[in-house]
Structure 1
Amino acid sequence: MSNQIKKRKLEKNVQDNLYFDSYSDVTIHEEMIADHARTNTYRTGIFENSSSIQGKVVLDVGAGTGVLSIFCAQAGAKRVYAVEASSIADQAVKIIKHNQMEDRIEVIKGTLETIDLPEQVDVIVSEWMGYALLHESMLNSVLFARDKWLKPGGLILPSKAELYIAPINDLVVEDRLNFWCTVKEQYGVDMSCMSEFARKCVMNNYITVNLVTVEDVLSHPSKFAELDLYSVTVEQLKSVKGPFKCECFGSSAVNALCVWFTVTFPCGDKPLVLSTSPFKQETHWKQAILYLHEPVDVMQDTLVVGEVNMYPSEDSSRHICIDVDYTIGQDKKHSKTFSIPDGYLEPQQLPVAT
């Protein structure tokens, strides 16, 4: 075996260890459970599918504190396998015992790809989504579980994910860029020459995770990708892409594009949707903001068109990169690649399956 291959494997092990270690602190789990939109939608989605869960075997991928496993047991599951690789699994055992569910929920500490189950399962439940949906690459483990452990015709909760994009005017950024032109009036020193430097620093190539207000959104969203969890493959996750087209509401300046996602639970005639849209209830995922090279003025019905391509980073398979080709109105086509910077995700900031 070559040294290069050994190095690659070591690097992946380090990445995985860092990832799972980030779930060992209470703060991140507190944030996830406190996200009412997230936790209550999962609870409702599980209970609404109780007819498919009663008396059945469930696999909870990335079980965290075990709350989804308990929901499934409450919905009538005969057996739940709660698989969790981080040390929070020890707390899940205590929580499950405290709720007198240990006869139906078995916590298995380990990665989904290395553990063994004594039987096939009827249902897979997982809260696998990260920032911009795919940051963390936990979906790969869900697909591995689907292909290895799910019975034919089995249920996956949630079963579908969709990605959306819209142009925005981030007023905070606009104020920061204008700040350097106001210094002379306040202090008698002209610092307007800092504006270009500030623009390069602020409108950088990083994916910024933050809340976007409804007032900042300049068009209806455009869906650019959809993932069917029953059929999507790991190979397809290496490039999740699609075109988008937005028509601006009125006169403003586009200084960023905003990306968010939804996941859907099958619930009879009216599916249940968990949305991270700025038009919906706030979630811990917030929105992913992609700052353009520079602001572009738009008017009513100005078209913002292009294509988005999301793929794993070469440096870390758990990190997402986003390529965006975009054209605003009559302006020329631009391209920009975005990533989440190293060290950005502290343990309390990482999304987790609980």
Structure 2
Amino acid sequence: MSLPKKRKIESGGGGSGEGGGEGAEQEDGGEREVARPRRAWCRQERDQQYYECYSDISVHEEMLADRIRTEAYRLGIMRNCAALRGKTVLDVGAGTGILSIFCVQAGARRVYAVEASAIWQQAREVVRLNGLEDRVHVLPGQVETVELPEQVDAIVSEWMGYGLLHESMLSSVLHARAKWLKEGGLLLPASAELFLAPVSDPTLEQRLGFWAHVKQLYDVDMSCLEAFATRCLMGPSEIVLQDLCGEDVLARPQRVAHLDLARAGLEQELQAGVAGRFRFSCYGAAAMHGFAFWFQVTFPGGDSGKPLVLSTSPFHPVTHWKQALLYLNEPVQVEQDTDISGEITLLPCRANHRLLRVQLRYKVGDQEEKAKDFAMED
């Protein structure tokens, strides 16, 4: 899943450190004006805000219009029709219900479509329109609180956010796995992998180079603003979503994380941070603007024995997830065989567990090691 609507991240906090807080006095006894701290949102309020976003039809239009995504789910489900035939399925975050219907088309006896946002009402209409009320039961509410009448044989969910872990929906799938999935039950998809590569962003390159061309346009030299533009565009610690292509990748991508959804302890790993080390050797000369990371998820092969992979790689057709970019503070010129190394960690933001935070340590060639922290916009 992903949220196309964006807002600036709210500053975290609301609590006060030692000696601080509203109404504090100066040491000399004089009064000082203290800004009233904004009330920190609790986890329940953050979740409610998140679910409300999915009540908007535009979100579901974007996801269903992504043919790569939706066809991969349909084929991944159909390849497992033998395992689903006559069985029960839990659809976590069912949205408009299309994955639940795919499961019925694959032979599932009953599907419990759990949806926490108000779109569950439209999902129920879709189920009714397709004459599947007796086989798809739409249950409004969070999967953490909804009660099912039975254990299920399989769980299906499209839980992936931008950069894989934005939105933190995987934790809900893992909760459902622990509470409702039968021993040895089927998970669709079954695993996820995270990839990283150094990249050059042609869109950013064009924007930075614009200031050198203003004189040609208007006979006014503004080339001095390129450094300012670099600070404005590359300085912020924001995870940028961009559609890249294979030619923008400067070294062979590396897998930095593998998540087996059946693995015990995965929930604790997500909270502590999904981390991986990397080392690249550049293909050739280019301006490196940062790193891009993307993911792929794998569905079991079923009777065919051949797993199905849904990839968001820049070497594959574009999806609505695109790629997630981590800009350096300024471009770095690399050459053939330039060595790039470091470590990346993905974890939830402190102020809002739904937002993705990335900690990056990196070293390019002979430069000193640097560090930069990033966050995804809300």
- Whether TM-score is above 0.5 comes out as yes
In 2 relative to 1, CA 84–254 (structure 1 residues): closer, same or farther, beyond 3 Å? same
2:218 alignment counterpart: 187
Q: Which residue of the other structure, out of 216, 220, 234, is the alignment partner of 2:267?
A: 234
Per the TM alignment, residue 298 of structure 1 is displaced from its structure 2 partner at its CA by: 1.2
TM-superposed CA distance for 1:196, in Å, is: 2.2
Q: How large is the RMSD of aligned CA atoms in angstroms?
A: 1.7
Find the partner of 1:331 among 342, 345, 367.
367
Q: Offset of 1:178 from its aligned partner? A: 2.3
Structure 1 residue 205: Cα displacement: 1.0
Amino acid at match of 1:263: V
Match of 1:91 among 101, 122, 127: 122
CA gap of 1:141–1:9, structure 2 versus 1, over 3 A, is farther
Cα distance in 2, alignment partners of residues 49 and 98 from structure 1: 25
Spell out, residue by residue over 1:250-271, the C-alpha distance to the aligned partner (whole angstroms, 9 max, x if none): 1111111111000000105321
Aligned residue for 2:76, secondary structure, equals helix
Deviation for aligned residue 1:190: 3.4
Q: Aligned letter for 1:187?
A: Y
Measure, in 2, the Cα distance between the counterparts of 1:171 and 1:216. 7
Aligned to 1:279: 315
CA 1:186 to 1:281, structure 2 compared with 1: closer, same or farther past 3 Å?
Answer: closer
Partner of residue 348, structure 1: none
Separation of aligned partners in 2, 1:63 and 1:186: 52
CA distance in 1, matches of 2:137, 2:205: 52
Amino acid at match of 2:159: W
| Larger CA deviation: 72-81 vs 267-276 | 267-276
Instruction: Give me the whole-angstrom Cα distance separating, in 2, the residues matched to 1:272 and 1:259.
Output: 21
Counterpart in 1 of 2:177?
A: 146
Separation of aligned partners in 1, 2:321 and 2:281: 26
Q: Which residue of 2 aligns with 1:246?
A: 280
Kindly provide the amino acid, as one letter, of the partner of residue 290 in structure 1.
L
Is 1:26 the counterpart of 2:57? The answer is: yes
Q: Distance in 2 between matches of 1:174 and 1:241?
A: 29
User: Please, what TM-score do these two structures have when normalized by structure 1?
Assistant: 0.92
Which structure 2 residue ranges, 5 or more long, are not aligned?
1-13, 16-37
**In structure 2, do the counterparts of structure 1 residues 8 and 142 end up closer, same or farther at CA, with 3 Å as the change threshold?**
farther
Consecutive unaligned residues of structure 1, counting only runs of 5 or more, are: 343-354
Q: Give the C-alpha shift of residue 306 in structure 1.
A: 1.0
The aligned counterpart of 2:300 is: 266
Looking at structure 1, the residues matched to 274 and 313 of structure 2 have their Cα atoms a distance apart, in angstroms, of 19
Q: How many residues align?
A: 338
| CA–CA separation in structure 2 for the residues paired with 1:252 and 1:217 | 10
* Other-structure match for 1:221: 253
1: CA distance between counterparts of 2:267 and 2:147? 21
The equivalent of 1:210 in structure 2 is 242
Distance 1:277 1:59 in 2: 28
Q: Name the structure 2 match of 1:347.
A: none
Kept in 1: contact 2:355–2:377 (CA 8 A): no
For residues 326-347 of structure 1, the C-alpha deviation after alignment (integer angstroms, 9 at most, x for no partner) is: 11122221111111234xxxxx
Once the two structures are superposed, the pairs formed by residues 148-187 of structure 1 within 5 Å of their partners are 148-187=179-218
Secondary structure, counterpart of 1:218 in structure 2 = coil
What residue in structure 2 maps to residue 350 of structure 1? Answer: none
Tell me the SS of whatever aligns to 1:59: strand
Going from structure 1 to structure 2, the CA distance change for 1:299 and 1:279 (only over 3 Å counts) comes to: same
State the partner residue of 2:7.
Answer: none
Matched to 1:248, the amino acid is C
Alignment partners' CA distance in 2, 1:27 and 1:172: 26
User: What amino acid does structure 1 have at the position aligned with 2:307?
Assistant: P
- Among all aligned residue pairs of Structure 1 and Structure 2, give the percentage whose two residues are the same amino acid: 52
In structure 2, which of residues 59, 84, 94 is the aligned counterpart of residue 63 of structure 1?
A: 94
Cα deviation 1:77-132 (Å, max 9, x = unaligned): 11110000111100111111111111111000000111101111110000000000
Q: Deviations over 1:19-64 (max 9, x none)?
A: 1111112111111111111111111111101111111110000000
TM-score, structure 2 as length reference = 0.86
Contact 2:344–2:359 (CA under 8 A) maintained in structure 1: yes
Select the residue among 198, 204, 207 that pairs with 2:229: 198
Change in 2 beyond 3 A, CA 1:104/1:110: same
**Match status 1:135 vs 2:169:** no
Q: Which amino acid aligns with 1:288?
A: A
Q: Distance in 2 between matches of 1:103 and 1:176?
A: 56
Report the AA paired with residue 255 of structure 1.
H
| TM-superposition CA deviations, 1:287-311 (whole Å, max 9, x none) | 1011111111111222221110011
**Displacement after TM superposition at 1:10 (Å):** 5.0
Query: SS state of the match for residue 228, structure 2?
Result: helix
User: Which protein shows a greater Rg?
Assistant: 2
AA aligned to 1:258 is: A
Which amino acid counterpart does residue 219 of structure 1 have in structure 2?
A
